[in-house]
Amino acid sequence: MKKWWVIAIALVVLAGLFWFGYRLSSDSQKQNGVDKTPVVIDDEKNDSENRPEENGGNEQEEPGPDPEDEEPSEDPSPEPEETDYNKYDNKKYAWYVLRKSDHSTPGTGAGMAELVKKYGGFYLGDTSQKVVYLTFDEGYEYGYTPKILDILRDNNVKAAFFITLPYLNKNPELVERMVNEGHIVGNHTVSHPSLPEVDNQKVIDEIEGLTKAFREKTGQDMKSLRPPKGEFSERTLKISSDLGYRNVFWSSAYDDWDVNKQKGAAYAYKMVMDNIHNGNVILLHAVSKSNTEALDTIIKDLKAQGYRFGTLDEIN
């Protein structure tokens, strides 16, 4: 009987030693309250949440720069002041106009014009006068800009060209010519994203990155911004306004950006002339063969009708 008691006591002692050793090992993994237990990292986790979304389209969808032209990111531009831009509504609007057949001032979506005006932007010029404003979007060069510049020069007309960073880097001689011949060169961002779809710092970098490069090449600044695809929000209007830019939209445009669906000079002429009105900010894409072929006649006929070609910097 005494023998069994000895065995029982030995078992209890062994169990105690085992428990003590377990606690000591556990405590060594949690020194000073920090859990040092190894963590397994799942390398197969789907990283799609970190990838940018595809850019959507709208009534003025247009091709951006060639993906091969995408510029490497530089050091972030400093944010203006210390504004919490996340407090501003980021509901995305896609600009469009409501055409009128009687050459009166066109409207746009509910509340859009008022929101744009609140932050210093515009889509119309002086509606009390027969004045129009030519603007061209330049995501990339398709061979027509030299001819467009020739026509503008020969007709003594100044226009505005909204360029991207790849356009600036690939066509410095054309941009230099725009500047030297008195045209406004505006900001169409570095890489043509939908601004409401990117964060605050990215919005700043997209705008300021292009202006910085333009300043280095020309010694001039950019003051006008055309949001890619006409997409904007109150947040992006506030950021760009704080940076010193005026958002420039349009009061007439048509589907001219697809180089594979050009409908000819007569169609381009009709789309422009049928929608002319006082204070008209005309949006044309410089990749359009039809626009280029119709431009000289458009200018001459508008002048014959008593219209004057103004510049964006005249618009208050």
Residue 161 has pLDDT above 90, yes or no: yes
Residue 252, phi-psi category: left (phi > 0), alpha (psi -120 to 50), beta (remainder): beta
Q: Residue 217: which pLDDT band, with cuts at 50, 70 and 90?
A: very high
Within a 13 Å sphere around the CA of 157, how many CA atoms are in the beta-carbon half?
Answer: 26
Domains of the chain, first to last: 58-65+88-314 (3.20.20.370)
Does residue 221 have an active-site annotation? no
* Catalytic site residue from 188, 192, 277, 285: 285
Q: Rounded to whole angstroms, how far apart are CA atoms 266 and 270?
A: 6
Residue 286 has pLDDT above 80, yes or no: yes
* Catalytic site residue from 47, 137, 150, 313: 137
Residue 51 has pLDDT above 60, yes or no: no
Residue 44 has pLDDT above 50, yes or no: no
Q: Is 234 helix (H, G, I), strand (E, B) or coil?
A: helix
Q: Residue 60: which pLDDT band, with cuts at 50, 70 and 90?
A: low
Q: Residue 252: which pLDDT band, with cuts at 50, 70 and 90?
A: very high
At residue 142, the pLDDT reads: 98
Residue 289, phi-psi category: left (phi > 0), alpha (psi -120 to 50), beta (remainder): alpha
At residue 54, the pLDDT reads: 27
CB 207 within 8 A of CB 187: yes
Q: Rounded to whole angstroms, how far apart are CA atoms 251 and 97?
A: 6
| Extended beta strands in 40-181, E state | 93-94, 97-98, 107-108, 131-138, 160-163
CB 224 within 8 A of CB 311: no
Q: Rounded to whole angstroms, how far apart are CA atoms 37 and 27?
A: 10
At residue 22, the pLDDT reads: 41
Does residue 285 have an active-site annotation? yes
Question: What integer best gives the mean pLDDT of the chain?
Answer: 84
Instruction: Between 152 and 17, name the one with better pLDDT.
Output: 152
At residue 47, the pLDDT reads: 30
Q: Where are the alpha helices (DSSP H) in the chain?
A: 2-28, 112-118, 145-154, 165-170, 172-180, 200-218, 234-242, 265-273, 289-304
Identify which of 97, 132, 134 has the alpha carbon closest to the alpha carbon of residue 116.
97
Q: What is the mean pLDDT of residues 48-57?
A: 29
Tell me the sheet residues that pair with 108: 97
Lowest mean pLDDT, pick from 43-52, 76-85, 237-246, 252-261: 43-52
Residue 187 has pLDDT above 90, yes or no: yes
